[in-house]
Structure 1
């Protein structure tokens, strides 16, 4: 599990491709301080496993499923990458619950200034995730824990403070660039549990799920 608080921005040293499979060699410093083989690292918000390390870099494998559904396929040598180690049991929880399981990608459709903040407008590629994107709710953008400002039919906005821009690779993004999106896991679990009808769902018999609304939440003790 992660928190969406990026620890450092690494640099892609090299990339090996074989079809839709990749091996990334990432230069880092903070991440390497206590890294062990098999450790989980959030790479642009994608939970990957450290397969080797040494000197000033570590490697991770990217399988085809991850390649197809994240922006890691767009990386090039020299790309700057947000990195976060898995949260230690005794660590401070500063962001929100982040699994590193990307729900989809989005395209930056606008960047504007709001006094000391920079506002990013992002259009998800898949409309299905909009039900989890709510104003003042949490969302992870390229591994960064952010708060949704507004959400419309086709896009949502996040407001980013100068410190976050200085400590992540988001400042390098431009209009038209792709970012990884992970919605708040709590909403997904609530929807799934309510859709199963109190545990009466039979796995081999698909059940049409009811839409989640205030009435349904009240009836099931969630509000």
Structure 2
């Protein structure tokens, strides 16, 4: 479980393919400082399991399902990545409950720079809009954000200076892909209400 508060802007180093999956190497001195094999680290919002931690970086196995459901396959060596270690019982919940299980990939459709923040519109995959509500939470590349507005095909968020400076979202432009995770509570509510109907 994560909070959607990015701890470190890391660097994607390489992906070594092994059949349909691969082993990814990522630099992130902060999140690697206490990482051990088996620990979970969110990489652009995708929960991955540490295989090797070597001081300033770590490696993870990435299976086909992860490539099919996320934008991790589009990363290139040198690309920045948002990193967050799994939450503990002592962690402040500054964002919202994030699983690191990507629901789909969105595309940045528009970006309007403001005096202090940017307004960004992101296209939603089909069927996902029912889980996105105005003033609700959504995770974009591992960043917990508040939805400003939503339609059947897209939603908008505003990025504050801290988000622009400390996450990949400050560097993404129109046409770029982003990992999306909707608030899991909405999915559980839908399932429970559906069972009773």
| TM-score, with structure 1 as normaliser | 0.86
When the two chains are superposed, the root-mean-square deviation of aligned CA atoms in Å is: 1.0
Instruction: Give every structure 1 segment of 4 or more consecutive aligned residues whose post-TM-superposition deviation is greater than 4 Å.
Output: none
Please give the alpha-carbon distance, in whole angstroms, between the structure 2 residues aligned to 1:84 and 1:69.
Answer: 19
CA contact (8 A) 2:32 2:56 kept: yes
The secondary structure found in structure 2 opposite 1:48 is: strand
Aligned counterpart, 1:75: 75
The secondary structure found in structure 2 opposite 1:88 is: coil
Please give the alpha-carbon distance, in whole angstroms, between the structure 2 residues aligned to 1:196 and 1:80.
Answer: 42
Larger RCO (alpha carbons 8 Å, 6+ apart): 2
Please give the alpha-carbon distance, in whole angstroms, between the structure 2 residues aligned to 1:17 and 1:38.
Answer: 21
Please give the alpha-carbon distance, in whole angstroms, between the structure 1 residues aligned to 2:166 and 2:96.
Answer: 18
The secondary structure found in structure 1 opposite 2:127 is: helix
Please give the alpha-carbon distance, in whole angstroms, between the structure 1 residues aligned to 2:57 and 2:3.
Answer: 23
User: In terms of Rg, which structure is larger?
Assistant: 1
Aligned counterpart, 2:4: 4
Aligned counterpart, 1:62: 62
Which residues in structure 2 correspond to 1:165-184 (within 5 Å)? Answer: 165-184=164-183
Give the CA deviation at 1:115: 2.8
Please give the alpha-carbon distance, in whole angstroms, between the structure 2 residues aligned to 1:166 and 1:97.
Answer: 23
CA contact (8 A) 2:33 2:56 kept: no
Q: Which is further off, 22-31 or 141-150?
A: 22-31
Question: Any gaps of 5 or more consecutive residues in structure 1?
Answer: 198-209, 211-223
* Cα distance per residue 1:180-200 (max 9 Å; x no partner): 000011111000111112xxx
Give the CA deviation at 1:94: 0.5
* Cα distance per residue 1:79-119 (max 9 Å; x no partner): 11000000011111100000001110000000002331101
The alignment covers a number of residue pairs equal to 197
